[in-house]
Structure 1
């Protein structure tokens, strides 16, 4: 689906091909029947006009009966054609539209939300800008594109069948034309075909030029609308921050600036659309009233055909012009179709490009990560790791020769802002694009990444807790127990609710409650490898302790790597350290040390006595005094 025709035919050559081709064949048959009905309509119109013209003729013994019968037949034919044939075709084509759109939507959802994290990589854009407003492309653009494509195909079918049926009738009713005797009895048919062949292509060329302008304006309009809608969506998520900072005027100015692009593009689009509408109305009048009646006028004047034949021939030419002009009538829709297909194709290309993330990122930088596994007894190992930014000649901002995290070890990761703490966690989880090195994960061990910013999807509370598993994978009792241990027991009775008090859970829960919800997920998932990226930042000190204690009590064998704002990690209520070691990142290097347990208050008091305070104490003397202090404490 990387090009227009590939995108158009994918559904018809997929596993759903029987459904696609069945609906298509039915539409084709109904279209052919509609074109044949157009011939019948032209003949019936000729009969009705003829009965009107000869209403007072002496030879017409039943003028009123003939007039009413012809009028009734014409009305009945219109009802059958428009209500029966066209109505059925509209329903079948709408069904095809619905099924095709559903198939494409499902393909894009599967491709974006695969285990490769394509949705994440596609938005990083290596070398070219990432597709904007993917939500709009996957939903609105696919919907409009599929509808436009089906309309286009139906129009092509109508042109082909009309040329066959209408052309056949024109040829069979053709007569000699004065001045074109060398054509014999095909004179009037040739004249009609020439008129259509000159009039339609010339005006189609004009329509294509105007359509190209509409296409460009449609693409720009979609981008402008997407940017404006994206900002409004973002506003809803940070509404409190805007209100708290009294930033309404700044936000308003931003919206006004974004809408200016919409308004200006819309204005230009309206000018071209109005011009096209005017061109189309003039074209329709000239085609239906001049071009259609012109070819038959010469044989009618020379008495080669009667009024009935003249009207019938004119209606046939008009039908032929109308069908062949379908391309002109739908040019605005075709312009929109092309604009939508381009936006959909860009997403498909972006997804295809990131199927091999390393190769994708190597276009704009160095990406040579190697991920392997080892016996879980040995924990997590990092070797010769270098993290860099985009660019082939960039200097690594973080370098690690070797770093090992034992099974069940708790590691506190600290360093100044921007030193690379979060980048390291992303690299371990395959979410940092540039650099090199080897990451050896414990084989068969489930990992869990908990970030500071928690965004909740619009699903039930049970589904929120079960993520990334399905709700059926965990009983209500287990989910309720996880919520209770995480400190959200008051919400247990709402497990099946998608909203509470008219609000989704993303709006209903506070920042701290969302982080407690993450704890519930951890307790339910029981990961063996846990990454906490400021995952308790929204909690108060007591909440942080409860956060860690719940994990410590319920995931005893988990290896935990944690980033926090605090200079020192929290301890349990009894003063016991949660963490075993501390990893310090400074100046692009990493140092890992065991976390020294705090000295009891009695030892601290002994070390602070005047006799113990010697400014020239060496590290060895310092450690000796600590041992002496501990010994004295035991003797007490």
Structure 2
């Protein structure tokens, strides 16, 4: 990772109440279910959202009205078939064909016209809403606060759990949630319009029912509404019970699949190391163990889904073939309702049951919607919680870092710094009473492995969570953090060199010059390319070339503070010298703080020291002093070489001197 900082400014401390009221992010309004659902319609894209919504509402109303026409046409067709041989029917075949043709036209109008166009418009709304949410979460995560970094540092012990599988939440959860929400909203609207149009028709065609004369001419309509009111809610209660189980299993399935996918992604990134260590067996057992969780959850989910599908099939049959035909049966038997009226009324009741059963039909979608929305709102809450990192980390440990600026003449100052791990009473593993780094000074940071060298650099850059201390930056100076592992985004070579700024910030000539000075002149002609020979730059460039690319960035950006965290680990001794020499020649006033594995820092080919001072970490204390007098060049070269199994370095040096 290579991180380039911005000029730091002194920011006044905020109280907890002020922080809560002032921290507004692009997802601040999406921390609850309903806040998430309505955010798009009250955003700067409200015209787009409401226009598509109103078109969908209009098409839904027309589709419901067409359902009434369909029921009437079906009654006409059934009646013409029933009275096919009636003597009064002078044109029986023509009547049947006419009614059948009208029925087919209505089906085409309803399904291909109103419903089909509504599907296209709703898919457009789905695409627009999802794209807007995706941009909002990306903007919130990739801000100057490094929210993406802090959000992953929650602690279960402190009651703040970091969101797992953030990529899955942004992509899959948002996609499924927006699609499910639009479908459910159309279902609710369909119920409302169907109740209006079908209810109006049922009341208008209602007749008296024997034994229920007190209802007058509203007898069959009352029975129809009563049948729907009893049948649908009873079965909805059953659907809710099954839906809650589906919701829990869907959440568990997402978590299991996300963990498995994350491990696969991690494995592909370290594929070489697995192959070199012959670790395929261990990796396979890990994959098998993670997939067991998917398989078990999937098995339970299949059982519940199958049970729900069976329940829905039985519900649909009973509703459409028994319940729908019951309300008008008595009136038809007692000849108060003709066959046409009976068929038409029964078909309308069946349509009303179907529309009012949207909750049952989409319960699996509701379960998925609730599961997805929960994961999205959890991410929104995690983003909001870390807008003030100091207060966030203070909930699980001691975090009292303060950052300020001073006149650039005084350089970088560190005072009373203590680094610790999580927990209020954690013992500091690194402490520094007072460290000062002058402008243009190069400092070599050394200490045993695990002593806290990298942690110290992270803390200076505001990327270490626990501890205390004051870091005072030179005002108006940018800083550049280069680590050993360099990951390159899938963008053009010019953009990779210009990061973190835009490729428009520098001319091609400037970028080409930086690449040439860094030792990558062979790639100048490919500045506009995002790939080479079918491979992205992260795959094209070797580890050493990637670190030379970092040098090109440094030369181009001209930072005032440069932090090298084992940034030359992939280079040979000559490459390390060239790395430092390029920075020395092209960034004369830069302040460098560097961590390396070497016992002594590299020197130039002429024998001059690159570094002026050394910060040593011993017994958890960091102290700074001038670099020791230069050793003979021959000794420095020998010490930097790996020893032979049976030969001492000092003995080799003595033999060289004798020669």
TM-score by length of 2: 0.90
Determine the structure 1 residue equivalent to 2:113. Answer: 84
Deviates more, 1:127-136 or 1:1-10: 127-136
Matched, 1:117 2:146: yes
3-state DSSP of counterpart to 1:562: strand
Matches of residues 357-506 of structure 1 in structure 2 within 5 Å? 357-506=389-538
Determine the structure 2 residue equivalent to 1:148. Answer: 180
Determine the structure 2 residue equivalent to 1:292. Answer: 324
Deviation at 1:483, TM superposition (A): 1.2
Runs of 4+ in 1 over 2 A off after TM superposition: 126-129, 599-604
Deviation at 1:395, TM superposition (A): 1.7
3-state DSSP of counterpart to 1:530: strand
Determine the structure 1 residue equivalent to 2:37. Answer: 8
Distance 2:69 2:323 in 1: 21
Matches of residues 15-26 of structure 1 in structure 2 within 5 Å? 15-26=44-55
Matched, 1:307 2:336: no
Determine the structure 2 residue equivalent to 1:132. Answer: 164
Distance 1:74 1:601 in 2: 97
Determine the structure 2 residue equivalent to 1:41. Answer: 70
Deviation at 1:597, TM superposition (A): 3.5
How many pairs are equivalent?
Answer: 604
Distance 1:241 1:591 in 2: 36
Determine the structure 2 residue equivalent to 1:631. Answer: none
Distance 1:196 1:10 in 2: 35
Distance 1:234 1:463 in 2: 25
Instruction: Indicate conservation of the 8 Å contact 2:412/2:473, yes or no.
Output: yes
Determine the structure 1 residue equivalent to 2:592. Answer: 560
Distance 2:604 2:168 in 1: 48
- For residues 273-318 of structure 1, the C-alpha deviation after alignment (integer angstroms, 9 at most, x for no partner) is 1111111100000000000011111110011110000000001000
Determine the structure 2 residue equivalent to 1:323. Answer: 355
Determine the structure 2 residue equivalent to 1:99. Answer: 128
Distance 1:442 1:87 in 2: 63
Instruction: Indicate conservation of the 8 Å contact 1:450/1:532, yes or no.
Output: yes
- For residues 323-369 of structure 1, the C-alpha deviation after alignment (integer angstroms, 9 at most, x for no partner) is 00111111111111111111111111100000111110010011111
Determine the structure 2 residue equivalent to 1:259. Answer: 291
Distance 2:632 2:317 in 1: 99
Distance 1:497 1:229 in 2: 30
Who wins on radius of gyration, i.e. which is larger? 1
Deviates more, 1:579-588 or 1:395-404: 395-404
- For residues 428-482 of structure 1, the C-alpha deviation after alignment (integer angstroms, 9 at most, x for no partner) is 1010111111111011111000011111111121111111111111111111111
In structure 2, the gaps of 5 or more residues are 1-29, 637-659
Give the structure, 1 or 2, with the largest relative contact order (CA under 8 Å, sep 6 or more). 2
Distance 1:572 1:559 in 2: 18
Deviation at 1:501, TM superposition (A): 2.1
TM-score by length of 1: 0.94
Matched, 1:275 2:307: yes
Deviates more, 1:491-500 or 1:328-337: 491-500
3-state DSSP of counterpart to 1:294: coil
Distance 1:445 1:503 in 2: 36
1:125 and 1:565, CA in 2 relative to 1: closer, same or farther beyond 3 A?
same
Pick from 361, 365, 373 the counterpart of residue 333 of structure 1. 365
Matched, 1:572 2:604: yes
Determine the structure 1 residue equivalent to 2:383. Answer: 351
1:468 and 1:601, CA in 2 relative to 1: closer, same or farther beyond 3 A?
closer
Distance 2:533 2:436 in 1: 48
Deviation at 1:603, TM superposition (A): 14
Matched, 1:199 2:231: yes
1:305 and 1:603, CA in 2 relative to 1: closer, same or farther beyond 3 A?
closer
Instruction: Indicate conservation of the 8 Å contact 1:479/1:524, yes or no.
Output: yes
Deviation at 1:182, TM superposition (A): 0.9
Distance 2:489 2:313 in 1: 49
3-state DSSP of counterpart to 1:304: coil
Deviation at 1:66, TM superposition (A): 1.4
Instruction: Indicate conservation of the 8 Å contact 1:577/1:597, yes or no.
Output: no
Matches of residues 55-74 of structure 1 in structure 2 within 5 Å? 55-74=84-103
Matched, 1:594 2:626: yes
Determine the structure 2 residue equivalent to 1:210. Answer: 242
Instruction: Indicate conservation of the 8 Å contact 2:498/2:556, yes or no.
Output: yes
- For residues 67-124 of structure 1, the C-alpha deviation after alignment (integer angstroms, 9 at most, x for no partner) is 1111111111110110010011001101110110011000000000000000000000
Distance 2:163 2:635 in 1: 62
- For residues 539-572 of structure 1, the C-alpha deviation after alignment (integer angstroms, 9 at most, x for no partner) is 1000000000000000000000000001110000
Distance 1:100 1:561 in 2: 46
Determine the structure 2 residue equivalent to 1:610. Answer: none
Distance 1:523 1:153 in 2: 55
3-state DSSP of counterpart to 1:52: helix
Distance 1:598 1:402 in 2: 26
3-state DSSP of counterpart to 2:480: strand
Instruction: Indicate conservation of the 8 Å contact 1:170/1:316, yes or no.
Output: yes
Deviation at 1:600, TM superposition (A): 6.0
Determine the structure 2 residue equivalent to 1:511. Answer: 543
3-state DSSP of counterpart to 1:492: helix
Deviation at 1:596, TM superposition (A): 3.0
